[in-house]
Amino acid sequence: MKIKHLHYTALLMAWAFTLWAQNPNLGTSGAQFLKIPVSARAAAMGGAFVAVSRDASAPFWNPAGITQVKSHAAHFSHTRWFDTFDVDAAAYVYNAGGFGAVAASVMMLSVEEMEITTEFQPNGTGGYFDAQDMAVALSYAKALTDRFSVGVTGRYIQQRIWNETANGFAFDVGTWYQLPFRNLTIAMSMSNFGPDMRYDGADLSVKWDENSTYPNRLVPTRLETEAYALPLNFEFGIAMDLFRTPFAKGLIAVDAVHPNDNRERIHLGTEITFFDRLALRGGYKINMDESLYDLGFGVNAFFTGIPVSFDYAYSVYDILPDVHRLSFGLVF
């Protein structure tokens, strides 16, 4: 591959190499943008959200959770990822009653243009390239009882580095079950199950001479990139009310995460809400070295009679830049 293509790839993977350099499964999957947490509320709770997701952000965490949306809901999220990438996501959920609930969602990672350099022009050629990752999904879920729901998501994935692209499909499956004791919820999800992806594009067409000692006619040749697996992830979560009073309520959540390209970890999260208007959140991850802790808050209000929510999350890292997230949601 040309050197210009390596810039983005190295930058995209550098954070993973720093976090889990001693893990034997490191680098066994691609499309790492699919692992970036969507929703400031979820991130502020340390990613312990599989059993909590019951709003318009549920398609990114557990498709079964969209059955908890009463009618229509929308979610918008923006993340500045390590001061390098912009991650934007949006989702719309509609609950059709007896038919079930459906959702459409999109997630996009983009990077600003970078100057093209080569081995002969290390200071730049005067040209620029960019890169973008995108995932577009449709979800369907149905409540089999008033306490148990199942859901599935089909996702189209595209990764692009200048003129090269990789395309693929993946599926998510989720379950959601609530018990009457303190609203105890048990949920499971499997995400990003699908075939391997591979880059292809115009820059892979080259001309090659098989005899470098005695130059001969250049033969049109096609380079082939290596296929890579998607970041398959299994997650089991529980959530329950810690307390509930007329002016405040507390929630705690725990998720056990098993990725195919890293070691298992535990996510812990909590949320305290005052008068259903102001929420304070915190999260922590066990067995995740560089991600130290997460903090955030949320505000719920009404705008022209429509419930709206604004959420902010601040994620602290040891070596990498800290991450800020903003989310906006509405129910109508």
Tell which residue, 283, 258, 214, has the closest CA to residue 44: 283
Alpha carbon of residue 49 to chain centroid: 12
35-44, 139-148, 195-204, 323-332: lowest mean pLDDT where? 195-204
Mean per-residue pLDDT, 101-107: 98
**Whole-prediction pTM:** 0.86
Mean per-residue pLDDT, 39-49: 98
Q: Tens of pLDDT along 209-259?
A: 777 666 677 778 888 899 999 999 999 999 999 999 999 999 999 999 999
Q: Tell me the chain's radius of gyration from C-alpha atoms.
A: 22
Residue 130 has pLDDT above 70, yes or no: yes
Q: What are φ and ψ of residue 218, in 5° steps?
A: -70, 130
- How far is the C-alpha of 62 from the C-alpha of 235, rounded, in Å? 9
Tell which residue, 10, 14, 45, has the closest CA to residue 325: 45
Instruction: Please list the alpha-helical segments (H only) found in the chain.
Output: 3-19, 40-44
Structure tokens at 251: 């929630």
Instruction: Return mean pLDDT, the chain.
Output: 90
Note whether 41 and 296 are within 8 A (CB). yes
Tell which residue, 224, 228, 262, has the closest CA to residue 30: 228
Residue 37 has pLDDT above 80, yes or no: yes
Residue 173 has pLDDT above 90, yes or no: yes
pLDDT band at 19 (very low <50, low <70, confident <90, very high): very low
125-129, 195-199, 219-223: lowest mean pLDDT where? 219-223
204: number of Cβ within 10 Å: 16
pLDDT band at 179 (very low <50, low <70, confident <90, very high): very high
The whole-number pLDDT of residue 155 equals 98
Per DSSP, 236 falls in state E
Note whether 300 and 324 are within 8 A (CB). no
The whole-number pLDDT of residue 258 equals 96
Task: Kindly write down the DSSP assignment for every residue of 59-123, as one continuous string.
Answer: GGT-GGGGGG--SEEEEEEEEEETTTEEEEEEEEEEE-GGG-EEEEEEEEEEEEEEE---SS-TT
- How far is the C-alpha of 293 from the C-alpha of 323, rounded, in Å? 11
Pairing of strands 148-161, 291-303: unpaired
pLDDT band at 124 (very low <50, low <70, confident <90, very high): confident
| Adjacent-strand bridge partners of 101 | 95, 141
Q: Tens of pLDDT along 266-322?
A: 999 999 999 999 999 999 999 987 888 999 999 999 998 899 999 999 999 988 999
Cα 53 to Cα 21, 57, 125: the distances in Å are 31, 7, 47
Per DSSP, 224 falls in state -
The rounded percent of the chain whose pLDDT value lies above 90 is 74
- How far is the C-alpha of 196 from the C-alpha of 120, rounded, in Å? 34
Residue 10 has pLDDT above 70, yes or no: no
